[in-house]
Amino acid sequence: MRREIVSRLRKEYIASILAKGERMDGRRLDESRSINIQFNVTGSAEGSARVQIGKTDVIVGVKMGVGTPYPDSPESGVLSTNAELSPIAAPNFETGPPREDAIELARVTDRAIRESGAVDFDSLCITPGEEVWMLFIDIQPVDYDGNLFDAAEIGALAALMSAKIPYSRMEEGAEDKPLPVRCFPVSITAAKIGDSIVFDPNLDEEHLADARLTVGVDENGAVRAMQKGLSGGFTREEVGKIIRTAGVLGDERRRLLFEAAEEAGVPVPR
């Protein structure tokens, strides 16, 4: 009971400073936390990355293997995205088969990659109708301090950029080739708390949030994916503003991704 009163007071306080355009950690409402992207963090994966957005920490691995294409797309590689919300990352996460939160995280990340055409799946065909490359993106948060959506998506993109198709495993002497990535969608998440919209919400802000909107924008400013969450509503205007701000923040984050990639010797377009 007392805890509830405290948390209600805390919520009121945070909402009041948000109304003044301030956040607990000093950020502007439309400001992301600092982001740190490392490439090739695990040698057993074909590609991997570790992304830290503030204290949120996510490892993404890309594995590739040879498999059978779907009958309705016999010349396309197959993408499978999975997220494991292990208790390592937060005390309330549970072991066992993925629950709705993990499934939503995986599916939203999957769509941002798949629907943007970031990967040319036709280039992953080995023998039409028989053998194609299977592409597994595995998302493993290790510390959860809010906004897993953005961390997972940029991590998936970075892991793909660093991935090498393991031709050497198929044929002795063959050379592994970089997996071509041709579109760079970036997910930007906003949360609505009271009447304020904050971007890149941290854990405290997520707990207070009434509604959430994740927008995936590409390097041409086009929207590639959206996902609204939580039971609160957005007005028509709020959605419009979030999408436009997401474009700006997305460009910034994409620039940071490319910088980190260049530093790590990972190929970058241009």
Partner 1 sequence: MGGKSDIRLIDENGIRIDGRRRDEMRPVRIEAGVLKRADGSAYLEWGDNKVIAAVYGPREVHPKHLQETNRAIVQYYYAMAPFSVDDRKRPGPDRRSTEISKISAEALENVIFVEQFPRTTIDVYVTVLQASAGTRCAALTAASVAVADAGIPMRDLVAACAAGKVEDQVVLDLVKEEDNFGQADMPIAIVPKTGEIVLMQMDGHMTLDEIDEAMDMAIKACYDIYEIQKEALWKKYERLAEEEVV
Quick one: DSSP state of residue 26?
Answer: S
Q: Which of 30, 138, 150, 200 binds partner 1 (CB under 8 A)?
A: 138
Site string for partner 1, 23-62 (x = CB under 8 A): ------------------xxxxx--x------x-x-x-xx
Q: Dmax over Cα atoms in the chain, in whole Å?
A: 68
Helix (H) or strand (E) holding 137: strand 131-143
**CA 164/CA 161 separation, integer angstroms:** 9
Helix (H) or strand (E) holding 10: helix 2-19
Partner residues linked to 258 by β-bridges: none
170 binds partner 1 (CB under 8 A): no
C-beta separation of 193 from 15 below 8 A = yes
230 binds partner 1 (CB under 8 A): yes
Smallest gap, in angstroms, from Cβ of residue 266 to partner 1? 17
232 binds partner 1 (CB under 8 A): yes
Helix (H) or strand (E) holding 97: none
3 binds partner 1 (CB under 8 A): no
Joined tokens for residue 214: 């994740």
200 binds partner 1 (CB under 8 A): no
231 binds partner 1 (CB under 8 A): yes
Nearer to partner 1, 88 or 170 (CB): 88
68 binds partner 1 (CB under 8 A): no
Question: CB-based contacts of 248: which residues, under 8 Å, 6+ apart?
Answer: 30
111 binds partner 1 (CB under 8 A): yes
Question: CB-based contacts of 96: which residues, under 8 Å, 6+ apart?
Answer: none
Smallest gap, in angstroms, from Cβ of residue 267 to partner 1? 20
- Residue 197, classed as helix, strand or coil, is strand
Q: Which of 53, 156, 186, 213 binds partner 1 (CB under 8 A)?
A: 213
117 binds partner 1 (CB under 8 A): yes
Question: CB-based contacts of 160: which residues, under 8 Å, 6+ apart?
Answer: 47, 62, 113, 118, 119, 137, 179, 181
Q: Which of 149, 199, 234, 258 binds partner 1 (CB under 8 A)?
A: 234
Footprint on this chain of partner 1 (rule: CB under 8 A) = 4, 41-45, 48, 55, 57, 59, 61-63, 65, 73, 82, 84, 86-91, 95-98, 100, 103-104, 106-107, 111, 114-117, 136, 138, 140, 142-145, 213, 218, 221-236, 239-240, 243-244, 247
